[in-house]
Amino acid sequence: MDTTNGAFTCGLDAALVVLGGKWKPLILFHLAHGTRRYGELRRAIGHVSDKVLIQQLKELQADGIIDRLDYGEIPPKVEYSLTAFGRTLGKALAPLCEWGTKYSSNVEAIIERRKVAEGPHAAWKR
């Protein structure tokens, strides 16, 4: 784990360039489980607006993390999938998913504590 790396202060800084976006990690997670159509992805992620989901899908595509396959049909049929590059990132995200699963009740307690505090970050947010 190198701490100096070109323009980045560390590898994590570089990863965050690609992953930074409210919904990008979850997009990656779901696509790591297989190709998805837009609507499937939308429903799996939950409370995200069309506008923002599409925006972040476009960014991920432009960055070479995901592929978009348009079948050119009506009604529209479009599929999203991870590129080979995106799959390397998906793999690197897996331990974080496992951590979240393992400590989900701790995290729920944190959320409750935030609500009670009604402080600088009261609501559930990321």
Interface region with DNA, contact rule CB under 7 A, candidates 2-10, 76-84, 89-97, 107-115: 76-84
DSSP state of 48: -
With beta carbons less than 8 A apart as the criterion, state whether 43 and 28 touch. no
Q: Tokens representing 73?
A: 């049909």
Per rule CB under 8 A, is residue 46 in the interface with a copy of itself?
Answer: yes
CA proximity to 60, closest of 43, 82, 79, 33: 82
Per rule CB under 7 A, is residue 121 in the interface with DNA?
Answer: yes
Instruction: Concatenate the DSSP letters of all residues of 74-120 into one string.
Output: SS--EEEEE-HHHHHHHHHHHHHHHHHHHTHHHHHHHHHHHHHHTST
Site map 2..31 versus DNA, x via CB under 7 A? ------------------xxxx--------
Per rule CB under 8 A, is residue 120 in the interface with a copy of itself?
Answer: yes
Per rule CB under 8 A, is residue 78 in the interface with a copy of itself?
Answer: no
Binding stretches for DNA (CB under 7 A): 20-23, 37-40, 42, 47-52, 54-58, 68, 70, 74-78, 80, 121, 123, 125
